[in-house]
Amino acid sequence: MPAARILLIDNEAGLCRMMEAVLRDQGYQVKAYTNPVQAVADFAAGSFELVISDIKMPEMDGLEVLQHLRRRDPEIPVIMITAFATVEMSIQALRRGAYDMLTKPFEPDELIYRVKHALQHHALMEENRELKEELTGKFRFDRIIGASGSLQALLEKVAKVAVRDTGVLITGESGTGKELIAQAIHHNSPRRDRKFVAVNCGALPENILESELFGYRKGAFTGATENRQGLLEAADGGTLFLDEVGNLPLNVQKTLLRFLQEQEFRRLGETTPTKVNVRLISATNSDLQTDVAKGLFREDLFYRLNVINLHLPPLRERRDDIPLLVAHFIREQNEKFGTACKGLTPEALEAACAYAWPGNIRQLRNVIEAALTIESGQYIGLPALAQFIVIEGGGPAIPQADYEAALGRFETEYLTRLLRKHSGNVEIAAAEAGMNMATIYRKLKKYGIRKKDID
């Protein structure tokens, strides 16, 4: 086994050299700093197995060091050193994530004992985490369907970035499954046991988006009758997913940038900041670099969000996955409605694989669901499929207006049936349909469906 890597931070040069020599004699790899600010700047997640830091230091005290390091690597054990150990200080350090406290003066043997104990504990936690991953499915990508080379290459990259608290921007056309990728990152990260909070920045009106994200204090504006926690605070310890981030107004972009820099924000109407520990993942189907050039999106925020870029290929570039996706969506519908459809006929499947799918996976899912409502046989045939997509070379070419009309009839019938089933409860209906509530409300308005008219 390679020697454990230890980061040592103490502004007392003599003590720092002594501890470094003791630890090196034990075979450990040690990187020592007398400047805590420089140590924090150079630290990267996964580069050390243990950190030892003094508490009382100029420029940045040990508790601040602890907070910065564990924000980047939440699993790393940290031993704090102090000459003035009090119960209050110890509790504060342990609450912020310190593994152990070591009081000056101490003997070299005590330092070695504490280090060995911390490393053993860390190794055991890593072993348990790896075992849990093996038992539950290493990457938990069960909802991401496909075997094409482009998708598998993407998932390998997802698995690598998931374990590090790095900003990720997911790009791709509408309907390619950007939120599923964000969920996969969250479920493979050290934050997997905390909340995943998703918000569609394009679905919320501009005038309420800031209050939804950051919360507000009672009396902050007309209608603010109570204190309200924002989505950012609700995701504390977990992951916040900002879908269609290009729709953020410039004033909200500015507030979000300040949060990414300081890990704190102010609720509307408050003067004191609120600190949270949140990983931010964002997604867009627009060209943010073009928006930056037009002055519609802040360049500094773009670079903060786009540390790692994951691009989802459109469905037309992964046609080999279409049969797998079709089978998956038919199985979902069979389970939901108790049907027994076996799949598409060979002609219909050939047409589906030849179609460009401008709406990508979301469109494919909707078309399969719509075709199943009008197909009474065991297989979905070409006539049923041709009511929703343009069939190349053979089937009737359905005009776009006819497609929109057919899809509108299906969505109207489906939403009406779903709301009737749940007595008009939009929240429950949205959960069953796999849509967010904002999408449901937009469709109800689009098709003129009123909840009070549903029997």
Tens place of pLDDT per residue across the chain (455 aa): 457 899 999 999 999 999 999 999 999 999 999 999 999 988 887 788 999 999 888 888 888 898 888 888 888 899 999 887 566 777 777 777 888 888 888 889 999 999 998 998 878 777 666 555 444 444 345 567 777 788 888 888 988 899 888 889 999 999 998 999 999 999 888 898 888 988 888 877 777 788 888 888 777 776 667 777 788 888 889 999 999 999 998 988 998 998 888 888 888 877 788 888 999 999 999 999 999 999 999 999 999 999 999 999 999 998 888 988 998 899 888 888 888 898 899 889 999 999 999 999 999 999 999 998 888 788 999 888 988 998 865 444 444 444 456 567 767 877 887 788 888 888 787 777 766 666 777 788 788 887 666 65
- Nearest CA among 173, 139, 115 for reference residue 318: 173
**What is the Cβ-side half-sphere exposure of residue 12, based on CA atoms within 13 angstroms?**
12
Q: How many helical (H) and strand (E) elements, i.e. helices and strands, does the chain have? A: 19, 14
What is the domain class of 317-453 according to CATH?
mainly alpha
Using CB atoms within 10 A of its CB, is residue 334 exposed (0-12), middle (13-18) or buried (19+)? middle
Tokens of residue 450, six digits: 């009123």
Q: Delimit the domains of the chain by residue range.
A: 5-134, 149-313, 317-453
The four Cα atoms 16, 19, 25, 28 give a dihedral, to 10 degrees, of -80
| Phi, psi of 314, rounded to the nearest 5 degrees | -70, 160
Q: Are 264 and 275 in contact (CB under 8 A)?
A: yes
Rounded-to-integer distance, Cα 341 and Cα 329, Å: 11
Question: Which pLDDT does position 363 carry in this prediction?
Answer: 93
| Fold: same for 5-134 and 149-313 | yes
Q: Are 196 and 147 in contact (CB under 8 A)?
A: no
Rounded-to-integer distance, Cα 367 and Cα 353, Å: 13
Long-range contacts, stretch 147-154, CB < 8 angstroms, 24+ apart: 147/320, 147/321, 147/324, 148/318, 148/320, 148/321, 150/313, 150/317, 150/318, 151/313, 151/318, 151/321, 154/181, 154/310, 154/311, 154/312, 154/313
E strand residue ranges, 29-97? 29-33, 50-54, 78-82
Q: Are 312 and 285 in contact (CB under 8 A)?
A: no
What is the CATH T-level fold of the domain 5-134, as seen in this structure?
A: Rossmann fold (3.40.50)
- Nearest CA among 31, 42, 29, 125 for reference residue 76: 125
DSSP 323: H
Pick the CATH number of 149-313 from 3.40.50.460, 3.30.1490.20, 3.40.50.300, 3.90.1170.50: 3.40.50.300
